[in-house]
Each structure stands twice: as structure tokens, then as C-alpha cells.
């Protein structure tokens, strides 16, 4: 992206980063990352950016290094997709915050929440299910086994189950899936895509550990949310953010705020 040109354009038209942020419904930090070249410009934000900059959408696409394709821009590459599963384990805030981070990174999210997950959301947060599904690009009913994510021909980067209950983990390990969440995970495994399970349980008995070993042998990544204290977290939100940043590292997605050891 020609960030210098866009910054100059802002000065020419007398616009601000705050106006860009308001135009796409995000905070100024997201716009700052885009203008620093740390985050790509989302295709669905092009028209709003172009309006603030008082240029055509095609001109902005050219300056951003993206292909132009007329009014519909049919030839633009699709956004990367990740499936997000929220099961009934404690820690549903991981899934909620994950949706927000992926949205800011320009990743298309496909959400499915288990029935126990709905119960845990009510117990642990003040969010309604509707507020959470609104954070995803698409969401599906738990029993919708005809959903696109139930088929291997529907291409995604993979899936993150955050949090992942031991029942969900066990069902994925057996391949005897009973709902869309575990079916989608099974599809990710069979297509040799990345499946990350943020398993929330402690202590673990031998059966849990054997199931984790089985899943690891099948290609899944077991990533229990473990706090890193070298970052000196000031809040639970800091811990959640760091855990999710490390999980997204597995998909080569850079979370700008992630504090790394030695950096």
C-alpha cells in the first residue's frame, strides 16, 4: 500500500484518521495500523475510505496495490476465512475477543456456538448471543449440518475452538460428530487444514491426555490458554489478548499489540 500517498491525500482534502475510523466503524488504532502498513486495507472498506479521501474506489485500489475490477470488483481475491467455534467450557471471552481481533485483521469469520456455549455466555458475560453473532461475518445454527463449513469443498484457513470443552475435544477425536461445530472441526482435519483447540480443563486425567495425544497425532494443535507473566499483564483482558495473539501466530496472522519475548 502506498501509505505516504494516502497520508498526503488526507492532508489535501483536510480529512483525519478519525474520519476514516468513523467511516468504517472502527477505532483510530486500526486506521493507524493500516496507514503504517502493518495491516491490509479490507476490501469492504474501500468505498468508505474513497469517499473520505474524495477519490474513486479504483484509484484507492491502485494506490493500495489491489486489483481493480469495475463497480463490483469481481476479480479481487477473496478474504481469508477462519471458522470460530465456541463450546460450553469456561472462558467464552476467548471466542468473543477472537472474533473482534479477526475482524480488525480483515479475516472473514464463520461462527458456530454449541448449546452449552450459549449457556456459558449467559453465565460468564453480559453479552447476548445476538451481540456475539453480530461480530462474525457469518454464523450458523449448531444443528445446521448443511452449512458451507460442513463441507471440505468450502475453503478456509482452518478453525479455532475457543474455548474447547473436553466433550467437544473427545467428539472431534472419535470422528463421530453430532453437531455443526464438531463436524466443521472434523472437516478441517480431513482436509489437512489447521485446527486449534483452546482446551479449558484442569486437572487433566489420563483419558483427557490420551484424547489430546490422539488429536495431536491426527494433526490438531492443542493450545490451552496459558497466561504469560513475562508480559506483566495488568488485567485479565491483557492475558486473553496475549493468548489469542499466540494462537493467531499459528495462522501467520500478526496481532500488532502482541508483546513478544525479547522484543
With a CB cutoff of 8 Å and minimum separation 6, the contacts of 22 are none
Angstrom distance (rounded) from CA 17 to CA 100: 20
The percent of residues in the chain predicted with pLDDT above 70, rounded, is 94
Residue 253 has pLDDT above 70, yes or no: yes
For 175, residues 6+ apart whose C-beta sits below 8 A from its C-beta are 186
Q: Report the run of H or E that residue 131 belongs to, with start and end.
A: helix 129-133
pLDDT tens readout for residues 192-230: 999 999 999 999 999 999 999 999 999 999 999 999 999
d(CA 244, CA 231): 14
C-alpha cell at 27: 477505532
DSSP 151: S
Q: Are 189 and 159 in contact (CB under 8 A)?
A: no
From-to residues of CATH 3.40.50.1950 in the chain? 81-249
- pLDDT tops 90 at residue 6: no
> pLDDT band at 68, cuts 50/70/90?
low
Residue 144: per-residue pLDDT: 93
Between vectors from CA 229 to CA 223 and to CA 230, what angle results, nearest 5°?
110
The x, y and z cell numbers of residue 127, run together, are: 453479552
pLDDT surpassing 70 at residue 64: yes
pLDDT tens for each residue of 169-196 = 999 999 999 999 999 999 999 999 999 9
Higher pLDDT, 113 or 256: 113
pTM over 0.85: no
Domain covering 81-249 in this structure, CATH number: 3.40.50.1950
CATH number assigned to the domain with residue range 3-63, chosen from the 4 options 1.10.10.10, 1.10.260.40, 2.60.40.740, 3.40.47.10: 1.10.260.40
pLDDT at position 77 is 56
The β-bridge partners of 160 are 84, 196
Cis bond leading into 203, ω under 30°?
A: yes
Residue among 200, 132, 118, 191 nearest 162 (CA)? 200
First to last CA, the chain: 25
Distance separating alpha carbons of residues 260 and 258, to the nearest angstrom = 6
Low-confidence winner among 14-23, 35-44, 188-197, 222-231 (lowest mean pLDDT): 35-44
Per-residue pLDDT at 67 exceeds 80 = no
pLDDT of residue 69: 56
pLDDT in tens, 88-102: 999 999 999 999 999
Q: Is it true that the peptide bond before 130 is cis, omega within 30 degrees of 0?
A: no
Listed in order, strand segments (DSSP E) in 92-217 are 108-113, 138-140, 158-164, 194-199
Amino acid at each position: 500500500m502506498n501509505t505516504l500517498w494516502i497520508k498526503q491525500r488526507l492532508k489535501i482534502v483536510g480529512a483525519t484518521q478519525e474520519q476514516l475510523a468513523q467511516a468504517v466503524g472502527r477505532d483510530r488504532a486500526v486506521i493507524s495500523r493500516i496507514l503504517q502498513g502493518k495491516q491490509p486495507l479490507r476490501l469492504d472498506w474501500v468505498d468508505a475510505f474513497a469517499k473520505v479521501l474524495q477519490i474513486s474506489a479504483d484509484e484507492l485500489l491502485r494506490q493500495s496495490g489491489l486489483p481493480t475490477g469495475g463497480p463490483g470488483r469481481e476479480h479481487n481475491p477473496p478474504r481469508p476465512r477462519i471458522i470460530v467455534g465456541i463450546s460450553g467450557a469456561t472462558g467464552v471471552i476467548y471466542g468473543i475477543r477472537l472474533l473482534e481481533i479477526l475482524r480488525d485483521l480483515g479475516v472473514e469469520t464463520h461462527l458456530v456456538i454449541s448449546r452449552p456455549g450459549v449457556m456459558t455466555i449467559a453465565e460468564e458475560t453480559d453479552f447476548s448471543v445476538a451481540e456475539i453473532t453480530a461480530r462474525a461475518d457469518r454464523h450458523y445454527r449448531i444443528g445446521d449440518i448443511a452449512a458451507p463449513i460442513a463441507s471440505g469443498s468450502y475453503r478456509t484457513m482452518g478453525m479455532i475452538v475457543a474455548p474447547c470443552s473436553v466433550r467437544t475435544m473427545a467428539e472431534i477425536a472419535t470422528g463421530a460428530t453430532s453437531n455443526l461445530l464438531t463436524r466443521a472441526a472434523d472437516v478441517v482435519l480431513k482436509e489437512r487444514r489447521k485446527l486449534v483447540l483452546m482446551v479449558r480443563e484442569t486437572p487433566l486425567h489420563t483419558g483427557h491426555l490420551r484424547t489430546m495425544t490422539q488429536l495431536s497425532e491426527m494433526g490438531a494443535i492443542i493450545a490451552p490458554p496459558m497466561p504469560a507473566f513475562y508480559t506483566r499483564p495488568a488485567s485479565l483482558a491483557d492475558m486473553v489478548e496475549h493468548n489469542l495473539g499466540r494462537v493467531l501466530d499459528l495462522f501467520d496472522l500478526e496481532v500488532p499489540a502482541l508483546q513478544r519475548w525479547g522484543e
